[in-house]
Amino acid sequence: MSEVGFPYLDELNEIQRQAVITTDGPIMVIAGPGSGKTRVLTYKIAHLLNTGVAPWNILALTFTNKAAKEMKDRIEKVVGPNAFKIWAGTFHSLFARILRVQAHKIGYPSDFTIYDTDDSKSVLKEIIKSLKLDTKVYNVSAIFSRISHAKSNLITPKSYATNEDLMAYDRINRRPMTQLIYDRYVKKCMRSGAMDFDDLLLQMFRLLYQNPDGVREKYQSQFRYLLVDEFQDTNYLQYEIIKLLTVYPDSNHNVTIVGDDAQSIYSFRGATIENILQFQNDFPEVQTFKLEQNYRSTQFIIQSANHIINFNKKQIPKKIWTDKDGGSKIKLIKAMTDSEEGRRVADTIIEQKNRYNLSNSQIGILYRTNAQSRVFEEHLRRHNIAYRIYGGLSFYARKEIKDMIAYLRLSVNHKDDEALKRVINYPRRGIGKTTIDQIALVANDNEISMMEVLTKVELKVRAKQKLLDFVKMIAAFKKKASASNAYDTALFIARQSGITDTLKSDTSIEGVSRLENLNALLDGIKEFADDDVLAPGEEVLDKSIGKFLQTISLMTDADNDDDQKESVTMMSVHAAKGLEFKSVFVVGLEENLFPSYMSLSSPDQVEEERRLFYVAITRAEEYLTLSYSNSRYHFGQMRFNDPSRFLEEIPEDSVDNITVMKSKTEKSPSSPFGKPKVLGGNFKPIGRRATKALPSVNAADFKPDSYTKIKEGMTVIHLKFGEGKVKSIDERDVATIHFEAVHDSPYKRIMLKYAKLQIVD
CB atoms within 10 A of CB 576: 25
* 81 confidence band (pLDDT: 50, 70, 90): confident
Q: Report how many helices (DSSP H) and strands (DSSP E) the chain contains, helices first.
A: 28, 20
pLDDT on residue 397 = 81
Contact call for residues 713 and 726 (beta carbons, < 8 A): yes
The per-residue pLDDT for 560 is: 44
Count of residues in the chain: 761
Higher pLDDT, 731 or 231: 231
Contact yes or no for 385/606 (Cβ under 8 A): no
The more confidently predicted of residues 578 and 227 is: 227
Q: In the chain, pLDDT over 70 holds for what percent of residues?
A: 89
Segment 257-284, tens digit of pLDDT: 999 999 999 888 888 999 999 999 999 9
Strand ranges for 92-190 from DSSP E? 113-114
Query: Which of 555, 402, 407, 396 has the alpha carbon at shortest distance from 481?
Result: 407
pLDDT digits (tens, 9 = 90+) for 507-527: 877 888 889 889 889 988 888
Per-residue pLDDT at 203 exceeds 90: yes
State whether residue 332 is helix, strand or coil: strand
Q: Would strands 722-729 and 715-718 be described as parallel, antiparallel, or unpaired?
A: antiparallel
Evaluate if residue 690 carries a pLDDT over 80.
no
- pLDDT value of position 682: 36
User: What confidence tens digit (pLDDT) does each residue in 655-671 have?
Assistant: 986 433 333 333 444 33
> pLDDT tens digits for 121-131?
988 998 999 89
pLDDT one-digit tens code per residue, 238-264: 999 999 999 755 556 799 999 999 999
Give the SS3 label for residue 708: helix
Helices 399-412 and 464-483 meet at what angle, rounded to 10? Answer: 80
Query: Residue 347's pLDDT is what?
Result: 95
**Confidence category of residue 458, pLDDT binned at 50, 70, 90:** confident
At 463 the pLDDT is: 83
User: Would strands 620-634 and 58-62 be described as parallel, antiparallel, or unpaired?
Assistant: unpaired
Q: Whole-model pTM?
A: 0.75
593 pLDDT band (50/70/90 cuts)? very high
Exposure of 397 in the CB half-sphere (CA atoms within 13 A)? 13
Helices 117-130 and 140-152 meet at what angle, rounded to 10?
110
Provide the pLDDT for residue 534: 60
Amino acid at 390: Y
> pLDDT-based confidence at 3, cuts 50/70/90?
low
Q: What pLDDT does 738 receive?
A: 87
Contact 375, 339 (CB under 8 A): yes
Among 68-72, 623-627, 696-700, which stretch is predicted with the lowest mean pLDDT? 696-700
Amino acid at 223: F
**Residue 74 pLDDT grade (very low, low, confident, very high; cuts 50, 70, 90):** confident
| Mean pLDDT, range 302-306, rounded to an integer | 95
What does the angle CA 676 – CA 319 – CA 611 come to, to the nearest 5 degrees? 65
Q: Which amino acid is at 41?
A: L
pLDDT level of residue 754 (50, 70, 90 thresholds): low
The answer on pLDDT for 462 being more than 60 is yes
**Is the pLDDT score of 55 beyond 60?**
yes
For 230, half-sphere exposure in the C-beta direction (CA atoms, 13 angstrom radius) is 20
pLDDT at 698 (0 to 100): 59
What pLDDT, on the 0 to 100 scale, is given for residue 540? 65
Average pLDDT over residues 718-732: 81
**DSSP H or E run through 367:** strand 363-367
Confidence of residue 555 (pLDDT cuts 50, 70, 90): low
HEC assignment per residue over 565-607? CCCEEEEEHHHHCCCCEEEEEECCCECEECCEHHHCCCHHHHH
pLDDT on residue 699: 61
Q: Which of 642, 48, 657 is nearest to 348 (CA)?
A: 657
**Which active-site residues does the annotation give?**
37-38, 229-230, 263, 619
Tell me how far CA of residue 749 lies from CA of 178, 431, 485, 535, in angstroms: 58, 50, 21, 9
Q: Which residue has the higher pLDDT, 82 or 452?
A: 452
Provide the percentage of residues in the chain whose pLDDT is more than 90.
Answer: 50
Is residue 465 predicted with pLDDT exceeding 80? yes
Residue 407 and residue 493 in contact, taking contact as beta carbons nearer than 8 Å: yes
Q: pLDDT at position 745, please?
A: 66
Please tell me which residue, 392 or 752, carries the higher pLDDT value: 752
- Flag whether pLDDT at 482 surpasses 80: yes
pLDDT of residue 612: 97
Using alpha carbons, select from 348, 374, 349 the residue that is nearest to residue 359.
349
Give pLDDT tens digits for 358-369. 999 999 999 999
Q: Please say whether the beta carbons of 267 and 608 come within 8 A.
A: yes
Question: What is the rounded distance in angstroms from the CA atom of residue 274 to the CA atom of residue 290?
Answer: 18
What confidence category does residue 558 fall into, taking pLDDT thresholds of 50, 70 and 90? very low
pLDDT of residue 691: 38
The pLDDT assigned to 242 comes to 95
- pLDDT tens digits, residue range 106-164? 998 887 888 888 888 988 998 999 899 998 899 999 999 999 999 999 999 999 999 99
Cα–Cα nearest to 629, from 336, 333, 331, 375: 336
697 has pLDDT over 70: no
Select, from the ranges 426-430, 433-437, 585-589, 594-598, the one with the highest average predicted confidence (pLDDT). 585-589
